[in-house]
Structure 1
Amino acid sequence: MTGDQSPVGTPPPGCPAHGDRYPLYQLADEAPAVYERLRARGPVVPVDLSPGVPASLITGYNEALRVLRDPTTFRKDPRGWQQTVPEDCPVLPLMMYRPNCRHADGAAHSRLRLAVTDSLDRVDLFALRGYVEKSAEILIGRFAGRGAGDLVADYARVLPLLVFNEMFGCPPDIGDRLVQGMSGIFDTVNAKQSNEIMRDAVLELVRLKRREPAQDVTSWLAEHPVELTDEEMMHQILTLLGAGTEPLQNLIVNGLRLLLSDERFAGDLSGGNLQVEDALDEILWTDPPLANFAMTYPREDVEFRGVTLPKDQPVVISLAAANTDPALATEHRGGNRAHLSWSAGPHTCPAQGQARLIASAAIEKVLDALPDMELAVPTHMLKWRPGPFHRALHSLPVNFPPVAVTRGDGGQAASTPAADVPAPKEGLAAVLSARRSAHGPTSRLGHLRRATRSWLRHG
């Protein structure tokens, strides 16, 4: 439940049945049911992003497209709204104006976005996959011998940082501060302090690359013909890191959750990484890592689908609600990329190709290294982090036979039984055996996955 528990049959506080603004900042475990209730109220719903911070949430797919494709009416510059909220507003660090392409319109947006897209286009995708695989092997090797792990804390939370450190030429000490700051902002916890940590770390990186350029995205931004200032460079990097750490972590975790729990994917013998790509398509439709985002601010009061959208008040796109709008009647999502999880219009995510490559390689790597991996708890017991913007699990606990992960031929990871890993205590072994017996479908998924991978490797 979000917020306080309510008696059976009584709408919870903030429910549309009460006619008030829904507290989006409390959104967590029951998100899909909340979106269904909000859509029933209409394609535009009043919400609070944090206590006392109102916004209009767009829940309809077609309405979302209309907003995202109309930058003349719905501008990205938040400074008019920013003047109306206190400095300690929890969502301010994520929404405040920065001179980046996300908050720019018109010619200013075109200039900044050109620097970003040109720099990203110089990334060698083959090398990028190598960064992911190398980083994944390091992380998997740290917990593979235990026979258990948390794919959030042990894997997905750290992996994007390691990859982005390579892409941006970021030293580890700066990277650690970046992740600390970004996580705090998305959780809206100590947001002001987190923003300062993140800003200082990126500015230090920018100045380092001005002095010592290399073959990385930060240096390419510095060299770009549009001649970005240090301040502009810092904010383009913050934007890319914001999209490439927390949301990418959530895409990896949500994809793994689906693959480990849904027999449609575990039993797919169609070949190669197709099941991973289909799972990512499914997640981007149904559980996008940024559930509510792509904020815009009307230039004037706007009448929209029978609702007045006030000037400068945030209009937030519910990517999750719009993607699952029943009006779409979209049941076959594999290979269908018409979802809004990368946004739409002139502000479509410029790094979606790189993000998808990182997520798919990360998922393939851990499934190949630990083919007998199973969820340690049923999916309904998994807990989601509350917050107005993201769709993020607290943890994704898994069990598997302990293995030693070694470097194989051709740079592939090879898994072998870990003979030097002590057997689990009898009590723990009994608990795990009982859990597998009690959740038969999860256990069957492990057998299906083993058969699939054996078939793919040996024919």
Structure 2
Amino acid sequence: MGEPHVELEQLYGPEFAADPQGVYARLRRYGPIAPVEISPGITAMLVTDYRAALDLLHDTVTWSKDPRKWQESVPEDSPILPMIGWRPNVMFNDGDVHARYRQAITDGFERIPPHELRTMVVGIADSLIAGFGADGQADLMGQFARLLPLKLFNRLFGLPDSYSDRLISSIAGMMEGDPAEASAANEEFQGYISELISAKKHVRGRDLTSWFLDHPVGLNDEEVTHQMVLTMAAGHEPTCNLIGNALARMLTDDRYYSTLSGGALTPRDAIQDVLLNEPPICNYSAHFPRRDVFFHGTWIRTGQLVMVSYTAAGAAHGRTGEGAGAGGSGASGSGGGAHLAWSAGPHSCPVPRAALLIATTAIERLCAWLSDIELTVPHDRLTYRPGPFHRALTELPARFTPISPGQAGETPWDSRDTGHSGNGRAEAEGESTPAP
């Protein structure tokens, strides 16, 4: 008799998006690692245990990040390949090649002073809020969280703000469009990157593109392109989801704010809570064993796809519950319990401090100006984009007292007629508000 058929848990589709914690709870019945389906016909093993995850992420002898052998068995048109298919970048290489790519990225970001990064985020946040402030309502995902990282990276890579709309439209098309639109958007994005590299090869600047081109590790044009594409994608999707998920918690939990002008917990508490309980990238860290291995009670064959559930492993280890604040020190050293949101080991996020600064500053800026903001739907009616890798809100509808534009040279709006104290709060915090 053959083996009984086992219906695998699916990490995609509306049911998973609606209740991922229920799926993770069922997966834990298998033990530290469980079989899953991440796309129709594509299976993987998913690590749901904190200690097992750390063992995998730190063991470069047993595990490889190179997916090329595995992807020979995957259809070329599989929707999973854009996230797991091999490229010459820091994500999908091992050893010296990985170290070389990572050095270029970390050195580039180290050349951006934190105060300059914060000033850029403040200016972009202010300009976005000025765009919808007079309306009294906004989708905080589509009009704020998704736009801010892209506008920021457009600047960091060395292009003026006038180019940011092109970047925004191409990324949106790749992520949200139908296959034909996604293909056209991908071509537009590749054109954006190619033109950017070409421009910087003629005239260098104080930007990531120039620093990648000139780095002593000697990246060629293809390698520069792939590090830029990865940096853009890895910087955008997690950051916008971190902002959105943290705002969703803050706007529905009285421990943060009865109004956003006062409360026991802060935006940073919300961010740490999300990193532990609802990471913006929930399942990733694709690894492939170099040999058959008996891993935490399960035999895994050579080259089999194994992923880490940052959500399941982190929450199982130190879950604080919805809306709980930071406390203790995490595996990543950023507080809020022992979370795995930045991954761990040699392939952990190379710039977690920059990501925290961007998200925290963006949320603080929004809360400073829109102090009575509230969601227009209950938290349990918020919806999430389907997919195995991210925890991403489709929208975050909110309302607030409208704020009206001010005069040139002043703050981007004037809330004096509405009874808000936003301008005074900014002045008290010692911040200047550049005109958009």
Query: What TM-score do you get using the length of structure 1 for normalisation?
Result: 0.81
1:437 maps to which residue?
none
Shift of 1:40: 2.7
Shift of 1:298: 1.3
Which of 115, 129, 132 is residue 104 of structure 2 equivalent to?
A: 115
- Please show how residues 162-181 of structure 1 align to structure 2 within 5 Å: 162-171=151-160, 175-181=164-170
Describe the superposition over 1:61-112 as per-residue Cα deviations: whole angstroms up to 9, x where unpaired. 1111111111221111111112111111001112111111111111111111
- Please show how residues 14-53 of structure 1 align to structure 2 within 5 Å: 19-26=6-13, 27-53=16-42
Shift of 1:230: 0.6
2:379 maps to which residue?
379
- CA–CA distance in 1 between the matches of 2:19 and 2:127? 35
Contact 2:122 2:365 in 1 (8 A): yes
- CA–CA distance in 1 between the matches of 2:117 and 2:261? 26
- CA–CA distance in 2 between the matches of 1:54 and 1:95? 13
- Identify if the C-alpha distance between structure 1 residues 38 and 185 changes in structure 2 by more than 3 Å, giving closer, same or farther: farther
Does structure 1 residue 249 correspond to structure 2 residue 236? no
Letter of the 1:126 counterpart: H
Shift of 1:292: 0.7
Contact 1:293 1:318 in 2 (8 A): yes
- Please show how residues 257-336 of structure 1 align to structure 2 within 5 Å: 257-266=248-257, 275-325=266-316, 327-328=317-318, 334-335=326-327, 336=329
Which of 36, 46, 62 is residue 57 of structure 1 equivalent to?
A: 46
Shift of 1:33: 1.9
- CA–CA distance in 1 between the matches of 2:132 and 2:414? 13
- CA–CA distance in 1 between the matches of 2:163 and 2:260? 43
- CA–CA distance in 1 between the matches of 2:43 and 2:178? 19
Contact 1:178 1:202 in 2 (8 A): no
Describe the superposition over 1:213-240 as per-residue Cα deviations: whole angstroms up to 9, x where unpaired. 1111111111111111010001111111
Letter of the 1:342 counterpart: W
State the identity as a percent: 41
Letter of the 2:59 counterpart: D
Shift of 1:188: 9.3
Shift of 1:195: 4.5
Shift of 1:306: 2.3
2:357 maps to which residue?
357
Does structure 1 residue 340 correspond to structure 2 residue 331? no
1:440 maps to which residue?
none
Letter of the 1:337 counterpart: G
Structure 1, unaligned runs of 5 or more: 1-16, 420-446
1:237 maps to which residue?
228
Shift of 1:20: 2.2
- CA–CA distance in 2 between the matches of 1:92 and 1:174? 28
Describe the superposition over 1:148-188 as per-residue Cα deviations: whole angstroms up to 9, x where unpaired. 11101111111111111111113557644544554565569
1:416 maps to which residue?
415
Letter of the 1:277 counterpart: R
- Identify if the C-alpha distance between structure 1 residues 303 and 181 changes in structure 2 by more than 3 Å, giving closer, same or farther: farther
Contact 2:377 2:397 in 1 (8 A): yes
Contact 1:91 1:185 in 2 (8 A): no
Contact 1:46 1:54 in 2 (8 A): yes
Contact 2:106 2:350 in 1 (8 A): yes
- Identify if the C-alpha distance between structure 1 residues 391 and 407 changes in structure 2 by more than 3 Å, giving closer, same or farther: farther
- Please show how residues 148-227 of structure 1 align to structure 2 within 5 Å: 148-171=137-160, 175-183=164-172, 190=179, 195-227=186-218
Describe the superposition over 1:254-303 as per-residue Cα deviations: whole angstroms up to 9, x where unpaired. 11111111111116999999711111100100111001111111112222
Contact 2:158 2:209 in 1 (8 A): yes
- CA–CA distance in 1 between the matches of 2:58 and 2:248? 33
- CA–CA distance in 2 between the matches of 1:402 and 1:163? 26
- Identify if the C-alpha distance between structure 1 residues 284 and 388 changes in structure 2 by more than 3 Å, giving closer, same or farther: same
- Identify if the C-alpha distance between structure 1 residues 134 and 84 changes in structure 2 by more than 3 Å, giving closer, same or farther: same
Shift of 1:116: 1.0
Shift of 1:138: 1.0
Contact 1:183 1:246 in 2 (8 A): no
- SS of 2:415's equivalent in the other structure is strand
Contact 1:93 1:185 in 2 (8 A): no
- SS of 1:265's equivalent in the other structure is coil
For the aligned residue pairs, the C-alpha RMSD in angstroms reads 3.0
- Identify if the C-alpha distance between structure 1 residues 113 and 167 changes in structure 2 by more than 3 Å, giving closer, same or farther: same
- Identify if the C-alpha distance between structure 1 residues 177 and 62 changes in structure 2 by more than 3 Å, giving closer, same or farther: farther
- CA–CA distance in 2 between the matches of 1:165 and 1:228? 21
